[in-house]
Structure 1
Amino acid sequence: MNEVINFLHQYQTVITVIVIAVVAILFDRLLRLSMNKFFGDSSRALRADFTKYILLKNAVSFIIFMVATGLIVYNVPSLRKISLTLFAGAGIFAAIIGFASQQAFSNIISGIFIVIFKPFRVGDVVNIGPDRSGIIEDITLRHTVIRSWQNRRIIIPNSIISAETIVNSSILEELTCEHAEIGISYYSDIETACSTIEKLVAELPNYIDARTDEEKKEGDPLVRTRVIRYDDSAIIIRAYLWANDPVAAFILKTEYYRAIKKRFDEVGVEIPFPHRTIVMKEPKADEKK
């Protein structure tokens, strides 16, 4: 009889744990869907930044699962005993847990600072450090997710991303100027090369006129070119390529480099390449013997 009672009690405990877990998951899903709809409508109506809502959603999910974990521990006698034992030695474990969770709390605080001070927002095009770039996809309590240009997800802890240099191409405006440099031979005419570049860039579909009204009145050129420097075998000319956003600017730059070679060939402007002169020395008379 006691064995039957123990079995039923264990069965009831298992059912309780499953119910708590299922209810927590369903409640989290329903709450996230409701918050997505509400915050999405609110951000569009008020033209507010959606980033802070994303962090709030993640924080609510964290609280729900923490409460569910506490209920499971409370309803499972063995786990309850373990938790009481842990609390009995709280002084020792507090130091261990505090030391182990320093990085976790640092990430949470950094995530909150990111939302408050907004060095970037969800949807911004950013460069993080020297070799990580893409579009901000998500900001959680622990990390920030970046979708790279290769469609990979770069997951960076918030404490690390807060210490990095961030280049944000979308924080105020997305209008972007790309610098495209190309070298011409010292035998080529600079004016011909510059005018050819200016005409070509103006014809490219992604190029936009970024001149102010005052610059237009003063007759500033539609496309700017500058002679930047003299290299060992080339004169370097820079074109300033303006586009509506960073992605369009990158495409514009590739279109420019694809078309400029053919256009230079048509007008007789040479793009130099390295030449090597090999000198073959004749052996001396003594060396021949």
Structure 2
Amino acid sequence: MGDLYQRLQQWIGTGFSLYLWNGAVAFAAVMIIGFFFKYFLNTIGRRLVAKTQTDLDDKLFAVILPRVKWLAIVIGFYLAVEQVAKGIAHTDKSGEELIRYSEGILYLLFVSLVTILVIRIIDTLLKHSMEMHARKTSSTVDEAIFPILTRMVMMLIFFIAIVITLGHFGVDVSSLLVFLGGGSVALALAAQDTLSNMIAGFVIMLDRPFRLGDRIKLPSGEIGDVYEIGLRSTKILDFDNNLIVSPNADLTKTKVINYSYPKNEIRVLVEVSIAYGTSIERARELMLNFARQNPELLKQPEPSVFFSSMGESSCVLQLIGRTDDWKKKARAENILREQIYTAFMKEGISSGIAQHVVQLTSPIPHGSPKND
């Protein structure tokens, strides 16, 4: 074995060529290890993954496998350059500078590959977690919260990667961190309203008092459908097709009525007035017949008619039913009003027009004698 090593050393040499040979061996060794690692993942790893019930491991394999080769290449080149650097004489300034630049470039490539890999893995984990949560709650994945979380994770990982890279090149990052801390405090003070709206946006996305497509009523009285839930504001599309932009902080501080949650089922209410002396039973019978025949109203609970109040000149009856979707509410109420009005006209049922008796008296002239 010693003779073989001596012969190999004589063939390669003892100077720079020996370190060059060591660099080539290091590169080849890393490439072989990377090849076998990828082969292991493609064969035994995939068979093990196929036995699991979740598809998360399949997604992680799809992220990791294409990047194993590039990581092996960069690591192999970096180790090879380190071996070559040992054989360069200290008097060779240009060679040392070339090696230093090469190591710096390879380190940047390595950090970039690892950063992208970590971002893709965390992105896959977040997306899988949100999909699993959506399946358990029988709801769709929120389209607003996932991009925001992904963007925040990317910014955090990029910041960590930059700090590590600067520290590797000998840059003092403590002063940079102090500067960023002071700048963040100043920015927070200057953008209090914006930050409060952003925090309120996260609260809305996590608490989910309303979702995309829900019909809500604002404290100001406007009613519309939730069009978009953003980081700073929520956009609501009203019945006139106008877009109402409301700051998220205002929505979290006030009462908002959600007509679509937890169910789309909503009440249908029709009020009619009939004159005193009209048969309430006949009016109730007509109203119930129309309600039972209306396809938009649910059979259970059954529609009902209530004698709600007595006015100055009429009695007020309320027809109450339910429909399975708030989008059908206006149409159902309109149809019932038209049918009830037509039937009441045929039956001679009056709506009870208010009547006022005005009595006029002539004033007694001043100074005229009074009759006994």
Instruction: Please tell me the TM-score bracket, short chain as reference.
Output: 0.5 to 0.7
Q: Does 1:226 align with 2:316?
A: no
Deviation at 1:121, TM superposition (A): 0.8
Q: Unaligned stretches of 5+ in structure 1?
A: 1-37, 66-86, 212-221
Distance, in Å, in 1 between the alignment partners of 2:331 and 2:132 is: 34
CA distances 1:129-155 after superposition (whole Å, capped 9, x unpaired): 241211111111101111111111111
Q: 1:56 to 1:92 in 2, by over 3 A?
A: closer
Residue number in structure 2 paired with 1:279: 359
* SS of match in other structure, 1:53: coil
1:169 corresponds, among 255, 259, 270, to: 259
CA distance in 2, matches of 1:198, 1:88: 74
> What does 1:65-214 align with in structure 2 at a 5 Å threshold?
97-211=187-301
**Deviation per residue, 1:162-214 (Å, 9 max, x gap):** 11212212222111112222111111111111111111222334222123xxx
Match of 1:248 in 2: 328
Cα drift, residue 279 of structure 1: 2.5
Mean CA deviation greater in 163-172 or 116-125:
163-172
The separation in 1 between residues aligned to 2:190 and 2:315, in whole angstroms, is 58
Choose which of 335, 338, 344 in structure 2 pairs with 1:258.
Answer: 338
Partner residue in 1 for 2:87: none
Equivalent residue letter for 1:122 = L
- Overall identity of the aligned pairs, in %: 17
Q: Alignment RMSD, CA only?
A: 3.6
For residues 245 and 161 of structure 1, do their structure 2 counterparts lie closer, same or farther at Cα, with a shift above 3 Å needed?
Answer: same
Query: Deviation at 1:52?
Result: 3.0
Tell me how far apart the structure 1 counterparts of residues 181 and 136 of structure 2 sit (CA, whole Å).
49
- TM-score where L is the length of structure 1: 0.65
Which residue of the partner structure matches residue 9 of structure 1?
Answer: none
What SS is found at the alignment partner of 1:177? strand
- Which structure would you say has the larger RCO, counting Cα contacts within 8 Å and 6 or more residues apart? 1
Counterpart amino acid of residue 118 in structure 1: R
Q: For residues 147 and 184 of structure 2, what CA distance do their matches in structure 1 show? A: 29
TM-score normalized by the length of structure 2:
0.52
Does the aligned pair in 2 maintain the 1:120–1:171 contact within 8 Å? yes
Rounded Cα–Cα distance in structure 2 between residues aligned with 1:175 and 1:158: 27
Preserved CA contact (<8 Å) 2:313 2:355: no
Change (3 A) 1:263 1:42: same
Retained in 2: the 8 A contact 1:207–1:252?
Answer: yes
The code of the aligned residue for 1:280 comes to: L
Name the CA distance, whole Å, in 2 between partners of 1:184 and 1:93: 71
Aligned residue pair count: 224
The structure carrying a bigger helix percent of its residues is 2
How far is the alpha carbon of 1:53 from its aligned partner?
3.0
